[in-house]
């Protein structure tokens, strides 16, 4: 007997947060100058790298929708289940980061932290890691 299944998951998130950064060794200086040899420029970028600490706090609204369907040869929808969840969460994430100068006003930040959520801690508390480009005006 032929069995046909279909599973669809959709998840969306909206978040807003603010960050407090602390540079105990000062902010890195941008790198001046034009084109340099690759290894020379890379060494200058790495020498200018400085660590810093930060705390991110914010709000996250997460929604998920799951559809599960099961069909048999003569029964089109033998089983149809829909589950919808919405979570409104507040969180705090202390992080350790490094900021690498790329140009005079451009920096690459690499960060590692742990997110603590106010509710549903077993589901959402987790390690957070990332990298981003920062431009100073």
**The pLDDT of residue 89:** 95
- Average pLDDT in the 108-115 region? 96
- Average pLDDT in the 92-108 region? 93
Task: Answer for the pair 87, 62: CB distance below 8 angstroms, yes or no.
Answer: yes
CA–CA dist 102, 108 (Å, integer)? 7
pLDDT confidence bin for 14, thresholds 50/70/90: very high
Is the whole model's pTM more than 0.85, yes or no? no
Q: Where are the domains of the chain?
A: 4-135
**The pLDDT of residue 71:** 87
CA–CA dist 67, 52 (Å, integer)? 44
**The pLDDT of residue 31:** 81
- Compute CA distances 11 → 2, 77, 128, whole Å: 30, 24, 19
CA–CA dist 68, 44 (Å, integer)? 55
Reduced to 3 states (helix: H, G, I; strand: E, B; else coil), residue 45 is helix
The per-residue pLDDT for range 27-85, each reduced to its tens digit, is: 888 887 666 677 887 888 888 899 999 999 999 999 999 999 988 887 777 888 999 99
């Amino acid at each position: 007997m032929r069995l046909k299944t279909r599973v669809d998951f959709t998840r969306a998130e909206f978040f807003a947060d603010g960050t407090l950064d602390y540079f105990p060794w000062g902010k890195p200086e941008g790198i001046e100058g034009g084109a340099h040899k690759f290894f020379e420029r890379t060494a200058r970028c790495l020498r200018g790298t400085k660590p810093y600490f930060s705390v991110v706090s914010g709000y996250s609204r997460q929604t998920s929708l799951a559809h599960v369907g099961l069909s048999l040869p003569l029964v089109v929808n033998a089983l149809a289940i829909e589950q919808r969840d919405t979570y409104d969460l507040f969180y705090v994430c202390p992080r350790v980061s490094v900021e690498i100068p790329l140009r005079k006003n451009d920096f690459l930040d690499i960060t590692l932290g742990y997110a603590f959520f106010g509710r549903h801690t077993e589901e959402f508390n987790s390690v957070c890691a990332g990298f981003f480009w920062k431009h100073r005006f």
